[in-house]
Structure 1
Amino acid sequence: MWNNVRQLNFAANALYALLALVLLAAGGYWLIQRPNFALREIQIDGDTDHINSPTVRASVVGHLKGNFFTVDLDSARQQFEQMPWVRRASVRRVWPNALAVTLEEYKPLGTWGADQLVSVDGELFTANQGELDEELPAFDGPDGTAKEVVARYQDFKKWYAPLGAAPEEVTLSPRYAWTVKLSNGTEIEYGRERNPQTLADRSRRLIEAWAAVTQRWGKEIEYADLRYPNGFAIRAAGMRFISDTDKAKKQ
């Protein structure tokens, strides 16, 4: 090899190239460690109705590691998504020392159980309920049923709109029996769904008879039991009335 000029030139060029790479890497490492690239700003955009930007910055900045070049964007995104009210976050770098964060908030539809909220998409989340702008309907149900309860809430809302009432509470029991409380004070016992039309049929039966019921018993109907095949029972002003359309056993 030592007598081969071509091989010597090749080896020398390779060493020069390696040295250049080492110097370039060292220079690059030195450059990216300069204080100029330390993260100094977090720009927050998107949904911030329930999010205080200074609080978000104060809570997250201490968990971010690295600078403009070395910060892990996926880890940063996860930190933002752990904040109350934050459903989704996207994070990108802004030259030379900033991060831009776009936040998407949960849209609260109602409360869930004792200490959670449920979104319009049927997703459960935890946040300070004192930050709510208005009183929300109350929902509850077994684990994994939030989407189903939200979907049924929309049905009840549509069905009872002709009566000028809206559901304030929707509960699915551990036995999967439905109970609804309306804004007019009426609590309605539906029981379990026997088929996809069970709740719709029972609601229609009550709504169609509502005018006659209130004319006879007054508008303060405290309770309606719809767990009868063709009729229903009501309680109003201390009275109990069972519809004459069906004396059969409740289902």
Structure 2
Amino acid sequence: MLIAAGLWWVAQRPYFTLKVIRIEGAQQTQLRHVNPLIVRSSALSRIRGNFFTANLDAVRQAFESVPWVSKATVRREWPNQLIITLEEHMPLGTWGEDGRLVSVKGDVFTANLAEAEEDTDLLGFDGPPGSEKEVVARLSDLNAWFAPLKLSATKLELSGRYAWTVTLSNGVTVELGREKSNTTLKERVERLVGIYPQLVERLQNRIESIDMRYPNGL
């Protein structure tokens, strides 16, 4: 009992009051969108306690609530410091019609759209709630499948019925339909790749959309 009381007394000494909160980028990378001064002031009001009593999980949540922060790791450094390591979202495109962004990992987040546009040409994504990672992961497959035509996806949508629609870099929209097996979409794209040169030759630049949902036609 006396030992516990003594430890509590020591832990409350001013020497252990948090005096330094250091913010750094993950793996020593420079933070591009997160301003350490702004993020510190934003999260500081939610940090309670001292070196011993600060709730590190609550501190982590406070920093992860800041725009552009994907992940925060918090550790103590003797005797009165907290080291916050931040990982930023890497924007890939927009999600839906409400201005939210989606990262290369498929995480949807809210941040300044203009800042994201400085990083990259944003693609368009949409799908049912919970499908974000699946939709983003499908992008690399589609780009690989359309590579023989030197085309890539600029917009990718998954409907409520789980039917896929892709808009290509030449503006053509392709209805790919539902994925009935692991190879359904790939087979449909390969069929389109095989006939696409003839379609272009015959229709010139008048192709706006192509429906590949039917096995024996367009």
SS at match of 1:130: helix
Q: Per-residue displacement from partner, 1:54-107 (whole Å, max 9, x unpaired)?
A: 011101111111122221222211211222222221111122322101112233
Mapped pair 1:62 → 2:41? no
Alpha-carbon distance in 2 for matches of 1:97, 1:111: 41
Structure 1 length-normalised TM: 0.76
Query: 1:46-57 to 2 correspondence within 5 Å?
Result: 46-47=25-26, 48-57=31-40
Q: Per-residue displacement from partner, 1:104-163 (whole Å, max 9, x unpaired)?
A: 223322211123222222222222222211221111011121122122222111111221
Mapped pair 1:131 → 2:115? yes
Mapped pair 1:213 → 2:199? yes
Mapped pair 1:92 → 2:71? no
Query: 1:37-52 to 2 correspondence within 5 Å?
Result: 37-47=16-26, 48-52=31-35
**CA contact under 8 A between 1:92 and 1:100: conserved in structure 2?**
yes
SS at match of 1:142: coil
- Report the counterpart of residue 121 of structure 1 in structure 2: 105
Which of 162, 168, 171 aligns to 1:185? It is: 171
**1:196 CA displacement:** 2.3
Amino acid at match of 1:65: R
Which of 143, 152, 157 aligns to 2:138? It is: 152
Runs of 4+ in 1 over 4 A off after TM superposition: 28-31
Which of 70, 73, 77 aligns to 2:60? It is: 77
The structure with more radius of gyration: 1
Alpha-carbon distance in 2 for matches of 1:81, 1:143: 21
**CA contact under 8 A between 1:153 and 1:167: conserved in structure 2?**
yes
**1:53 CA displacement:** 0.5
* Stretches of structure 2 lacking an aligned partner (at least 5 in a row): none
SS at match of 2:63: helix
SS at match of 1:221: coil
SS at match of 1:144: coil
**1:31 CA displacement:** 4.5
**CA contact under 8 A between 2:92 and 2:120: conserved in structure 1?**
no
- In 2 relative to 1, CA 200–29 (structure 1 residues): closer, same or farther, beyond 3 Å? closer
**CA contact under 8 A between 1:88 and 1:104: conserved in structure 2?**
yes
* Stretches of structure 1 lacking an aligned partner (at least 5 in a row): 1-17, 233-251
Cα RMSD after superposing both structures: 2.1
- In 2 relative to 1, CA 72–194 (structure 1 residues): closer, same or farther, beyond 3 Å? closer
Alpha-carbon distance in 1 for matches of 2:115, 2:130: 26
**1:29 CA displacement:** 4.8
Give the count of matched residue pairs.
Answer: 211
88-97 or 200-209: bigger deviation = 88-97
**CA contact under 8 A between 2:23 and 2:36: conserved in structure 1?**
yes
Alpha-carbon distance in 1 for matches of 2:188, 2:5: 74
Which of 204, 210, 214 aligns to 1:224? It is: 210
**1:199 CA displacement:** 1.3
